[in-house]
C-alpha cells in the first residue's frame, strides 16, 4: 500500500487545481447553480478535449485514459474543492462504472467511448423513492416484450438526470425479490413512457431528477439477473470517489475558516488568537486529515482490486460524512453572522456537505455496513 502520491500524480493534481481555480471560481458556481442545465458546456468541452477528464478511470480500450482509482480520487478531490458544476460524477463515475461492471465487451465498446469523450452524458437511474442505494431496494419492473423489455416504476435522486442523453436503469424481473432478478438496462430518455421532472434541491450544485417509466423500452445491459453484483461494485467505487470529493470540499472550507480567523478582529485582537477558536481549528484539522487518510487509503485499495474495497468504501464515506459536515458547521460558526448570509460563499459548500452526507448512504448506514463487512 502506498501512503504518498507519486510525483506524476502530484503534477496531475497541480494541473487540475490550476484549471479548476480558473474555470470554477465561486462566482461561476453561483451563476451555474441558478441555471437549469447546471454546468457550462464550454468548460465541459475543455475538460473533455484538453484534459480527458471524463475518461480518467475508463480503460483505453473503451476510449478512456486508463488510470486507476487513485487518479479518480485526485480528480474528485479537486472537483470537490472547487465545487465544480459538471455532470462528471453522474456520467463518468456512476453510469460509466455501471456499464464497465455490467456490460458485455461489445456493449462497452459501443457505449463507453462517448462517455469517456464527454460527448455522451449518461446518468444512473438506480435509487427509488425509498432512497436506498442497494439492489434489493429495486421495485421497478422490467417485463419482457418480444426481443426487448418494458420498464415500469419510478426512480428518484437521479443525479443530472434531466440533462442526461442516456440512462442506465436498474429494474427487476417480475416475481423476483431481494438482490435476485435485478438487471441493468439502457433507456433512451426521450423514449415513449419516460417522464422526467427536476426535483427541487437543497444543494443547487447537485441537480437531481425524478424519472418515471410507464412501459418504457429498455435494452438489457450485460447478462439478465447480474445487475446486483454490478451495482454493488459500482456503488462501492462511486462511494470512494464521493468520499474523496468530500474531503476536497472540506479542505477548502477549512482554509477559508483559518483565513477568516486570522483577519477578523474583535476585542482588539484577531479572533484566531483566542483559544476558543484556535482549539476548534486544531480539532477540525484532525477530523480533516483523518478523513483524507481514509479516502486515500480506500482509493488505493480499490486501485489494487483489494478484497477490502467495499469495507473501506464504507469506512471512508462514514469518516467523510461526519468530517465534512462538522467542518462546514464550524466554518459558519467561525465566520459568525456573516457566515449565515447568502453573499458569503460558505453556504455553497455547507449545502454540498449536507447533500453529500446522505448521498450514497449516511455515516450511520456505512458504519453498520463496515461492521458487517468485518464480521463483527
Partner 1 sequence: MSELSAESVRGEVRAWLEANWDPDRGLVEWRNMLAESGWGVPAWPKRWFGREMEEALVPVVQEEFDRIGAVGVAKTGIRTLAAATLLAHGTEMQKEKFLRRILTGEDTWCQLFSEPGSGSDLAGATTRADFDGAHWIVNGQKVWTTSAHHAQYGLLLARTNWDVPKHKGLSYFVLGIEQPGVEVRPLKQMNGHASFNQVFFTDAKIAPEFLVGEEGEGWKVAMTTLMHERRGADGTRRWAMGSNAKGRIYDEERAEIETQLEPYKWYPQRAGRVDLVVERAQETGRNADPVVRQEIARLLIMSRAAEWTARRARAAQERGRPQGPEGSLGKLASSNVARQARHVHTLITGTDSMLSGPDSPRDGTVAEILVSVPATSIAGGTDEIQRNIISERVLGMPKEPRFDTDRPFREVPRNIVDS
Q: Which residues bind partner 1 (CB under 8 A)?
A: 2-4, 258, 261-262, 269-270, 272-275, 277-279, 281-283, 285-286, 289-294, 296-297, 315, 318-319, 364, 367-368, 370-371, 374, 376
Kindly tell me which of 315 and 360 has the beta carbon lying closer to partner 1.
315
- Nearest approach in angstroms of CB 367 to partner 1 is 4
Kindly tell me which of 223 and 304 has the beta carbon lying closer to partner 1.
304
Dmax of the chain from CA atoms?
Answer: 79
Grid cell of 55 as nine digits: 475518461
Kindly tell me which of 10 and 60 has the beta carbon lying closer to partner 1.
10
- Nearest approach in angstroms of CB 72 to partner 1 is 19
Residues 68 and 11: their CA atoms lie apart, in Å, by 16
The Cα-based distances of 266 to 88, 263, 271 in angstroms read: 43, 10, 6
Grid cell of 13 as nine digits: 493534481
Nearest by Cα to 221 from 256, 273, 183, 252: 183
Kindly tell me which of 203 and 322 has the beta carbon lying closer to partner 1.
322
Residues 75 and 77: their CA atoms lie apart, in Å, by 6
Kindly tell me which of 6 and 104 has the beta carbon lying closer to partner 1.
6
Helices 227-263 and 275-303, axial angle in degrees (round to 10): 150
- Nearest approach in angstroms of CB 42 to partner 1 is 35
Nearest by Cα to 154 from 164, 141, 136, 173: 141
- Nearest approach in angstroms of CB 73 to partner 1 is 14
Can you point out the beta strands (E) in the chain?
122-125, 141-145, 148-159, 166-172, 182-187, 194-198, 208-221, 265-266, 269-270
User: How many CA atoms, within 13 angstroms, populate the side-chain half-sphere of residue 139?
Assistant: 10
Kindly tell me which of 23 and 280 has the beta carbon lying closer to partner 1.
280
Cβ atoms < 10 Å from Cβ of 198? 14
- Nearest approach in angstroms of CB 12 to partner 1 is 16
Grid cell of 58 as nine digits: 475508463
The Cα-based distances of 326 to 256, 258, 345 in angstroms read: 14, 15, 17
Kindly tell me which of 165 and 289 has the beta carbon lying closer to partner 1.
289
Kindly tell me which of 31 and 269 has the beta carbon lying closer to partner 1.
269
How many degrees, rounded to 5, is the angle at CA 77 between CA 306 and CA 127?
A: 70
- Nearest approach in angstroms of CB 81 to partner 1 is 16
- Nearest approach in angstroms of CB 313 to partner 1 is 12
Kindly tell me which of 182 and 325 has the beta carbon lying closer to partner 1.
325
- Nearest approach in angstroms of CB 2 to partner 1 is 7
Residues 40 and 36: their CA atoms lie apart, in Å, by 11
Q: If you search the block for the grid coordinates 419482457, which residue do you land on?
A: 144
- Nearest approach in angstroms of CB 290 to partner 1 is 4
Can you point out the beta strands (E) in 242-340?
265-266, 269-270
Amino acid at each position: 500500500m502506498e501512503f504518498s502520491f507519486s510525483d506524476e500524480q502530484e503534477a496531475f493534481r497541480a494541473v487540475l487545481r490550476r484549471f479548476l481555480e480558473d474555470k470554477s471560481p465561486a462566482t461561476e458556481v453561483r451563476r451555474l447553480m441558478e441555471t437549469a442545465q447546471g454546468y457550462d458546456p464550454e468548460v465541459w468541452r475543455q475538460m473533455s478535449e484538453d484534459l480527458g477528464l471524463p475518461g480518467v478511470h475508463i480503460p483505453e480500450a473503451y476510449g478512456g485514459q486508463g488510470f486507476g482509482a487513485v487518479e479518480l480520487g485526485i480528480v474528485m478531490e479537486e472537483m470537490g474543492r472547487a465545487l465544480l458544476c459538471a455532470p462528471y460524477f453522474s456520467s463518468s463515475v456512476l453510469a460509466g462504472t455501471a456499464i464497465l461492471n455490467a456490460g458485455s465487451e461489445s456493449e462497452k465498446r459501443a457505449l463507453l467511448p462517448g462517455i469517456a469523450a464527454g460527448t455522451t452524458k449518461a446518468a444512473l437511474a438506480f435509487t427509488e423513492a425509498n432512497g436506498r442505494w442497494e439492489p434489493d431496494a429495486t421495485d421497478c419492473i422490467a417485463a419482457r416484450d418480444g426481443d426487448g423489455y418494458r420498464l415500469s416504476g419510478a426512480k428518484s435522486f437521479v443525479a443530472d438526470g434531466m440533462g442526461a442523453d442516456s440512462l442506465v436503469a436498474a429494474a427487476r424481473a417480475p416475481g423476483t425479490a431481494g438482490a435476485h432478478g435485478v438487471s441493468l438496462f439502457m433507456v433512451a430518455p426521450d423514449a415513449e413512457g419516460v417522464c422526467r421532472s427536476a426535483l427541487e434541491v437543497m444543494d443547487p450544485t447537485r441537480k437531481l431528477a425524478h424519472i418515471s417509466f410507464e412501459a418504457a423500452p429498455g435494452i438489457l445491459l450485460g447478462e439478465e439477473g447480474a445487475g446486483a453484483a454490478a451495482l454493488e461494485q459500482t456503488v462501492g467505487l462511486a462511494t470512494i470517489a464521493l468520499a474523496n470529493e468530500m474531503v476536497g470540499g472540506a479542505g477548502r472550507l477549512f482554509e477559508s475558516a483559518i483565513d477568516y480567523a486570522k483577519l477578523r478582529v474583535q476585542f482588539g485582537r484577531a479572533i484566531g488568537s483566542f483559544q476558543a477558536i484556535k482549539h476548534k481549528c486544531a480539532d477540525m484539522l484532525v477530523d480533516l486529515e483523518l478523513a483524507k487518510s481514509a479516502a486515500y487509503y480506500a482509493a488505493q485499495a480499490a486501485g489494487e482490486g483489494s478484497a477490502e474495497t467495499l469495507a473501506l468504501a464504507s469506512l471512508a464515506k462514514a469518516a467523510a460524512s461526519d468530517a465534512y459536515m462538522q467542518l462546514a458547521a464550524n466554518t459558519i460558526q467561525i465566520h459568525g453572522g456573516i457566515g449565515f448570509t447568502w453573499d458569503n460563499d460558505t453556504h455553497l459548500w455547507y449545502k454540498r456537505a449536507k447533500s453529500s452526507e446522505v448521498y450514497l448512504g449516511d455515516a450511520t448506514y456505512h458504519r453498520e455496513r463496515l461492521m458487517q463487512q468485518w464480521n463483527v
